[in-house]
Amino acid sequence: MLTARAIMSKKIITMESTASPTDIAKIMHKNNVSCVIVTQNEKPYGIITERSFLSQISAQDKKPSDVKSTEMMSSPIVTISASASVDDVVQTMLEGKIRHVLVVNNNQPLGLISITDFIKHFGAITTDSDNYKKDLYENLFEEYDYWDE
C-alpha cells in the first residue's frame, strides 16, 4: 500500500500568523511553493495558498497591506497521517474540496501533499495496487477546476 509519506513533498514553508500577506507572497515566490503553513505559537494554524491571494486580494480589488494573513488563510488546516493510504488522501481532498493536505506523524508536520504530488507519483499509485480506484482519481482531477481553495 502506497502511503501519504511516500508521495508527500518534504518542503514545508511556515510563517507566523503575524506575518503580512506581502511577506508571505515573497517567501512563497522565493521558495517556489504554492502554499505556506501559517503557525501560531509554532503550531500549524492555517494555510495560505496562491488561490488565497487571488480570491482574498486580487479578486476583491484590495491591497495586501489592507488584509491580515489570518483573514486570508483557511483554518483549521486539514491533516492526514503519514501512514494513511494515498486513496485516503484523495478521499480527504475530494470531501473537503481542498488542494493541499498537511502530512503529520504524532501531530508533528512531516510534509505536504498537493494535486501536483499525485501527478508526480501517478505511475506508482496506479501500479501499487491490484485494486486501483480509477474513478476516485478521475474525480480528483475532474473536480479540481471547481474547488474553492
Cα–Cα distance measured from residue 74 to residue 90, given in angstroms and rounded to the nearest whole number: 19
First vs last Cα of the chain: how many Å apart? 28
User: With 60 as the cut, is the pLDDT of residue 131 above it?
Assistant: no
Instruction: Check residue 130 and report its DSSP letter.
Output: T
pTM of the full structure: 0.82
Express each pLDDT in 11-37 by its tens digit: 999 999 999 999 999 999 999 999 999
Express each pLDDT in 132-144 by its tens digit: 566 666 666 665 5
Which residue has better confidence, 125 or 22? 22
Express each pLDDT in 67-109 by its tens digit: 999 999 999 999 999 999 998 999 999 899 899 999 999 888 9
Residue 107, H or E segment? none
Q: How far is CA 23 from CA 27, 68, 77, 104, in A?
A: 6, 11, 20, 26
Top-level class of domain 4-146: alpha beta
Q: How far is CA 139 from CA 35, 49, 96, 97, 119, in A?
A: 23, 22, 13, 11, 14
